[in-house]
């Protein structure tokens, strides 16, 4: 075939560019939101219909455009933000490529209405597939309103790559959340099909924004970062090692107020946590870097999400130092947090203080009441449960014949506890150590699975229902999986503004804080709106059982016997649901060998 080079017509060029800039409805929102922020808007309202494909409307109170600017704004490579090459390397605005409006205009029906503060009347222009179809004057407030209908109507191939409405909407929410987090004194409202999803308040306190987006439980576990080195300033919050997530979703990095993805910075943060993180767990952070615009290149990616750092090593070192210093200063946090709480109370619409009590008050169950009975001395022979004989009610000298349900399991004569972790016992075969946490995890797991199978999960009613603030993602996930979460024994109702009122919890997890409830939601969130498979359900129940076991509990002899009794009753007493052993036995022969008594 003969090659023939042609200059593409401008409509085709725009469609090609649109492919790079506008990948999905969320990319449109990102570009428009950035334009509103660049225009100095302090109030931005975003309205979405049908995950954005049918309609997107964004209204801002920024400086608006004159009629002349309006007619240029949607052309390709038209921008008010840079003028020459010098400017390109000194960018403080979010936009500068002059491509966004042109791209959107090419693949939708776009109407822009705008007015500057010096004009009495506004101007509008309507464009479809890149062509002007209407224009004129109209009443308008100062600022800009952009309405988009039928996105991708003329690029069906792009439409095919889109995911479900839920997934697309989640992308939109993610973009809006990132900017709602960082912009001081800007209020961003997001509506979907007329329902308010997010309404970030004007505040200059980053922690307030974090509380608003992530909820108070998370905010409590965050440590402030504030660090300066030469031209570089880092501020923000990072989670204490006690708060981690299964995904990196709750990590935000901003460079000169632009949300970016940058592995140099992310890696430096992880480096600072070093051994404090468990495998596959990720910290939560919101970090804002201010650097000299000359030290970065933001023009490396059409969506401007990736940036190049001129001196990666230097930035990496500074980020590392900043976070290490934040950890060193952690002792100051308690005080700082109290201060912030004071602040928060003044905020009427979102008073988060209601969630600050982290322990649930729970009506004690029968079992708990029984366990709490103080034993004067280690008396043996108390029957822990029902009327069944307890094989561990042994006396000092005799070991009963095994009546146990498992071969090579017990009976045990309990000798004591080591390090509030291991139970030491004697069996007819020798010495054994039981990991009390693994054992409890196993018994909880089997009990819960049995209750679940019989659809008879025991629940505990909270004396005072607890209001739990969720972020908009968590709220949506929870509502999408309401049936499932309720089937685990949680009961809750929608409490407005992305919060729920929790009124009962499964008895087995009763000791727990609402953190576990949130962990379950986060686990479901990872599943991206899919069905809850058996595997996911098991994973959730396994980690719930693990989390429900309290570390380092001093056990009374009675409690130890009760635990061993329950362990023996389980179907698989030898390992915890995660596969760790519950029990290790040292045979008499092995002990003899260790003491070199063999052959005596």
Residues that bind Mg ion (CB under 5 A): 35, 95, 100
Among 26, 39, 457, 488, binds ligand ADP (CB under 6 A): 39
**How far, in Å, are 15, 208, 209, 215, 303 from residue 182 at the CA level?**
32, 11, 8, 16, 19
Choosing among ligand ADP, Mg ion, none, which partner's interface includes residue 39 (Cβ < 5 to 8 Å by kind)?
A: ligand ADP
Minimal distance in Å, beta carbon 70 to ligand ADP?
A: 8
- Min dist CB 520 to ligand ADP, Å, is 40
* Cβ distance to ligand ADP smaller for residue 126 or 523: 126
Q: How far is the CB of 38 from ligand ADP (least distance, A)?
A: 6
* Residue 452, binding choice from Mg ion, ligand ADP, none, Cβ under 5 to 8 Å by partner class: none
Among 65, 110, 291, 315, binds ligand ADP (CB under 6 A): 65
If the CB atoms of residues 66 and 78 are measured against Mg ion, the closer one turns out to be 78
Measured on CA atoms in the order 415, 418, 420, 426, is the torsion positive or negative?
A: negative
* Position among 80, 165, 267, 556 found at the interface with ligand ADP (CB under 6 A): 80
Residue 64 binding ligand ADP, by CB under 6 A:
yes
98 binds ligand ADP (CB under 6 A): yes
Residue 341: phi, psi to the nearest 5?
-65, -40
Number of residues binding to ligand ADP, judged by CB under 6 A: 23
Residues from 167 through 196 that contact ligand ADP (CB under 6 A)? none
108 binds ligand ADP (CB under 6 A): no
The site partner of 79 among ligand ADP, Mg ion, none (C-beta below 5 to 8 Å per kind) is ligand ADP
Give yes or no for residue 31 binding ligand ADP (CB under 6 A): yes
Q: Which two three-digit tokens encode residue 466?
A: 């607890």
Residue 60 in the binding site for ligand ADP (CB under 6 A): yes
Per CB under 6 A, does 404 bind ligand ADP? no
| Helix (H) or strand (E) run with residue 324 in it | helix 312-328
If one asks whether residue 27 binds ligand ADP (CB under 6 A), the answer comes out as no
Q: Distance between CA 49 and CA 108 in Å, rounded?
A: 14
502 binds ligand ADP (CB under 6 A): no
Q: Is 169 exposed, middle or buried (0-12, 13-18, 19+ CB in 10 A)?
A: buried
Is the Cβ–Cβ distance between 39 and 142 less than 8 Å? Answer: no
Mask: binding to ligand ADP, 120-149, rule CB under 6 A, as x and -? ------------------------x-----
- To Mg ion, the closest distance from the beta carbon of 420 in angstroms equals 59
Q: Which residues contact 99 (CB under 8 A, 6 or more apart)?
A: 17, 21, 76, 77, 302
Closest CB to ligand ADP among residues 82, 583: 82
Quote the least distance from Cβ 98 to Mg ion, whole Å.
7
- Which of 62, 241, 489, 577 touches ligand ADP (CB under 6 A)? 62
Neighbours of 371 (CB within 10 A): 15
Smallest distance, ligand ADP to C-beta of residue 258, A: 12
Instruction: Work out how close the CB of 96 gets to Mg ion at its nearest, in angstroms, rounded to a whole number.
Output: 8
Rounded-to-integer distance, Cα 141 and Cα 62, Å: 10
Which DSSP letter does residue 149 get? E
35 binds ligand ADP (CB under 6 A): yes
Looking at the Cβ atoms of 18 and 213, the one nearer to ligand ADP is 18
> Of residues 56, 100, 265, 438, which one binds ligand ADP by CB under 6 A?
100
Q: How far is the CB of 102 from Mg ion (least distance, A)?
A: 10
Distance CA 309, CA 329 (A): 28
Task: Report how far residue 134's alpha carbon sits from residue 380's, in angstroms, rounded to the nearest whole number.
Answer: 91
* Contacts of range 173-176, beta carbons closer than 8 Å, 24 or more positions apart: 173/197, 173/198, 173/472, 173/473, 173/476, 174/26, 174/249, 174/473, 175/26, 175/29, 175/30, 175/33, 176/29, 176/33, 176/46
CB of residue 95 to Mg ion, shortest distance in Å: 3
Distances (CA, A) of 588 to 68, 402, 431, 598: 94, 18, 7, 11
Place of tokens 């600017």: 69
Sequence-separated (6 or more) residues with CB below 8 Å from residue 106? 11, 14, 15, 18, 129, 130, 154
Binder of residue 71, out of Mg ion, ligand ADP, none (CB less than 5 to 8 A by kind): none
Q: How far apart are CA 178 and CA 285, in angstroms?
A: 12
Could you say which of Mg ion, ligand ADP, none residue 458 binds, taking C-beta under 5 to 8 angstroms by partner kind?
Answer: none
Among 54, 57, 67, 81, binds ligand ADP (CB under 6 A): 81
Pairing of strands 258-260, 251-255: antiparallel
Count CB neighbours of 197 within 10 A.
Answer: 20
- Min separation Cβ 140 and ligand ADP, Å: 12
Q: 25 is in the binding site of which of Mg ion, ligand ADP, none (Cβ under 5 to 8 A by kind)?
A: none
Q: How far is the CB of 89 from ligand ADP (least distance, A)?
A: 16
Bridge-based pairing state of the strands 131-138 and 195-199: unpaired
Interface with ligand ADP by CB under 6 A: which residues?
A: 31, 35-36, 39, 60, 62, 64-65, 69, 73, 78-81, 95-102, 144
């Amino acid at each position: 075939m003969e090659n023939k080079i042609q200059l593409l017509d401008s409509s085709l060029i725009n469609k090609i560019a649109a492919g790079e800039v506008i990948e999905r409805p969320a990319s449109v929102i990102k570009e428009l939101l950035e334009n509103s922020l660049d225009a100095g808007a302090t109030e931005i309202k975003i309205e979405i219909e049908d995950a954005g494909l049918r309609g997107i409307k964004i209204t801002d109170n920024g400086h608006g455009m004159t009629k002349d600017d309006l007619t240029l704004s949607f052309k390709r490579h038209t921008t008010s933000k840079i003028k020459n090459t010098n400017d390109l390397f000194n960018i403080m605005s979010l936009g500068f490529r002059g491509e966004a409006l042109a791209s959107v205009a090419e693949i939708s029906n776009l109407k822009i209405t705008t007015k500057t503060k010096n004009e009495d009347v506004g101007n509008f222009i309507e464009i479809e597939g890149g062509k002007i179809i209407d224009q004129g004057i109209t009443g308008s407030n100062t600022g800009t309103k952009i309405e988009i209908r039928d996105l991708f109507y003329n690029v069906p191939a792009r439409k095919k790559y889109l995911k479900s409405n839920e997934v697309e909407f989640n992308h939109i929410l993610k973009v809006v959340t990132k900017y709602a987090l960082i912009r001081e004194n800007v209020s961003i409202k997001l509506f979907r099909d007329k329902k308010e999803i997010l309404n970030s308040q004007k505040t200059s306190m980053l922690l307030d924004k974090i509380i608003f987006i992530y909820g108070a439980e998370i905010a409590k576990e965050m440590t402030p970062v504030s660090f300066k080195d030469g031209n570089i300033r880092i501020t923000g919050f990072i989670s204490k090692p006690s708060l981690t997530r299964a995904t990196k979703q709750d990590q935000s990095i901003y460079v000169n107020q632009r949300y970016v993805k940058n592995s140099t910075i992310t890696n430096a943060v992880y480096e600072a946590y070093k051994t404090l993180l468990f495998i596959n767990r990720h910290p939560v952070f919101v970090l804002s870097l201010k650097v000299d615009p000359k030290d970065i290149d933001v023009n490396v990616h059409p969506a401007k999400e990736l940036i190049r750092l001129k001196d990666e090593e230097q930035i990496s070192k500074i980020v590392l130092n900043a976070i290490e210093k934040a950890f060193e200063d952690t002792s100051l946090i308690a005080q700082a947090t109290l201060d912030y709480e004071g602040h928060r109370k003044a905020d009427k619409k979102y008073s988060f203080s209601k969630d600050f009590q982290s322990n649930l008050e729970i009506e004690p169950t029968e079992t708990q009441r029984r366990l709490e009975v103080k034993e004067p001395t280690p008396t043996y022979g108390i029957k822990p449960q029902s009327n069944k004989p307890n094989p561990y009610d042994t006396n000092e000298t005799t070991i009963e014949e095994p009546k146990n349900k498992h071969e090579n399991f017990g009976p045990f004569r309990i000798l004591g506890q080591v390090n509030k972790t291991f139970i030491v016992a004697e069996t007819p075969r020798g010495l054994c150590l039981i990991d009390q946490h693994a054992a409890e995890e196993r018994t909880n797991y089997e009990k819960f699975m049995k209750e679940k199978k019989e659809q008879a999960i025991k629940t505990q009613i909270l004396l005072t229902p607890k209001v739990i603030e969720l972020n908009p993602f968590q709220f949506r996930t929870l509502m999408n999986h309401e049936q499932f979460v309720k089937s685990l024994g949680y009961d809750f109702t929608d409490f407005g503004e992305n919060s729920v009122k929790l009124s009962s919890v499964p008895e087995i997890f009763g000791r727990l804080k609402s953190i576990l409830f949130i962990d379950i939601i986060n686990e479901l969130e990872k599943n991206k709106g899919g069905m809850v498979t058996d595997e996911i359900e098991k994973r959730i129940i396994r980690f719930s059982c693990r989390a429900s076991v309290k570390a380092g509990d001093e056990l009374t002899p009675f409690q130890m016997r009760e635990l061993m009794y329950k362990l023996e009753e389980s179907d698989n007493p030898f390992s915890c649901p995660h596969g760790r052993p519950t029990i290790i036995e040292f045979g008499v022969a092995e002990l003899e060998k260790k003491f070199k008594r063999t052959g005596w």
